[in-house]
Amino acid sequence: MRLNIPKLDSNQNIFFARELENIDLHPYETLFAGMLGRRYVPLVEGIPEWANVHTFRMYETTGRAKVIGPNSNDLPRVGVRATELSRTIKQIATSYEWTVREIQQAAATGAPLDQMTVLASRSAVARETDDLIALGNPLYSIEGLLNATGVLSSTPSTKSGTGAGTKWIRTVAVSPDEILGDINRLVSETRTALKQAGSEVPIFGKFTLLIDSLNYSYIATTPRSSTSDTTILQYAIKNNPWIESIEEWFQCDTADTAGTGPRMVCYPRDPLALGCIVPQEYTSLNPQEEGLKIVVPATGSCGGTIIRYQVAVRYMDGI
């Protein structure tokens, strides 16, 4: 890192550069609770940091083979159709600062600079990236995993329970069988849609389900029955062979169509099916002098989530 800050002497410059290097290399990502978009959505590889648009091609095969007679010349034709799709990539920016006096005092006393300042900067970029991966930004035509165009929805069953709360959590308890029915229905209807799509779409074998915090907590702590030591969550994962995992994501809390209630999503956690666009990771730039402050700009970039096969993803609201 090259510094050109005349108000600091050489020793202070060296101290400042070393502190920034030490801070930037610290693994702060593990402290960002709830920012799980990068875990739940595979990264689209190979996009350069400077890209403003990511374009990819979807290929569709046409025609099929058939059984013919020994002397037949009526051979069926097959072909491939390509469609180009593009996604906008936007820069994410923030900055942090210290006064020249704070840097001088820290260098003189050997005290480290406040690492929470850098943590706040990294957290701000990580939060915006997570929001874009989950929900996109319609202003820039960026879509997220939880609100992608073309993804169909399943309807939950009517519940026996009554009272305040979500459909799964009522004052008068909802039957665990009814909750399991919703989970299994979402997976089953996703698999059915994939089969109906035919040979144009890969048949994905395992699916991840993401749900909101309240419902996840409920199924993770509620027994399958009054005589069972297995929770609803454990039972669903163990007894449905197509469920890879069921996990909590606070982004699902208000992701439904109205933007006020929970949404469950079922999808294959497979880079063939979908991916998040994060060409530039969090990057601190060279410090800049602004009056008596030293400002460090920081940047990253994100283009939300691309879903290559919408039929492989499915939503369920009203849970």
Tell me the pLDDT tens digit for each residue of 148-160: 999 999 999 988 8
Is the predicted pLDDT of residue 25 greater than 70, yes or no? no
169-181 pLDDT, tens digit each: 987 888 999 999 9
DSSP-derived letter for residue 96 is E
Is the predicted pLDDT of residue 289 greater than 80, yes or no? yes
More confident residue, 242 or 63: 242
Helices 10-24 and 115-135: crossing angle in degrees, nearest 10, is 40
**If you average pLDDT over residues 135-158, what whole number do you get?**
94
Instruction: Assign 80 a pLDDT band (cuts: 50, 70, 90).
Output: low
Is the predicted pLDDT of residue 212 greater than 50, yes or no? yes
What is the predicted pLDDT for the residue at 10?
A: 66
Is the predicted pLDDT of residue 211 greater than 70, yes or no? yes
Provide the whole-model pTM.
0.83
How many percent of the chain have pLDDT more than 90?
56
What is the predicted pLDDT for the residue at 108?
A: 78
Q: Which distant-in-sequence residues (6+ apart) come within 8 Å of 126 by Cβ?
A: 29, 32, 35, 282
* Average pLDDT over the chain, rounded to an integer: 86
What is the predicted pLDDT for the residue at 33?
A: 61
- Residue 288, SS3 per DSSP: strand
More confident residue, 68 or 178: 178
Strand partners, 88: 53
What is the predicted pLDDT for the residue at 31?
A: 52
Kind and range of the H or E element at 178? helix 176-196
What is the predicted pLDDT for the residue at 239?
A: 96
What is the predicted pLDDT for the residue at 9?
A: 67
Q: Which distant-in-sequence residues (6+ apart) come within 8 Å of 139 by Cβ?
A: none
Instruction: Assign 279 a pLDDT band (cuts: 50, 70, 90).
Output: very high
**If you average pLDDT over residues 290-311, what whole number do you get?**
92
What is the predicted pLDDT for the residue at 236?
A: 97
Strand locations in the chain, DSSP E? 53-62, 79-88, 90-99, 152-154, 207-211, 243-248, 263-267, 274-276, 283-284, 288-290, 293-302, 305-307, 314-317
Give 197-222 as a DSSP string: TGGGS-----EEEEE-HHHHHHHHHS
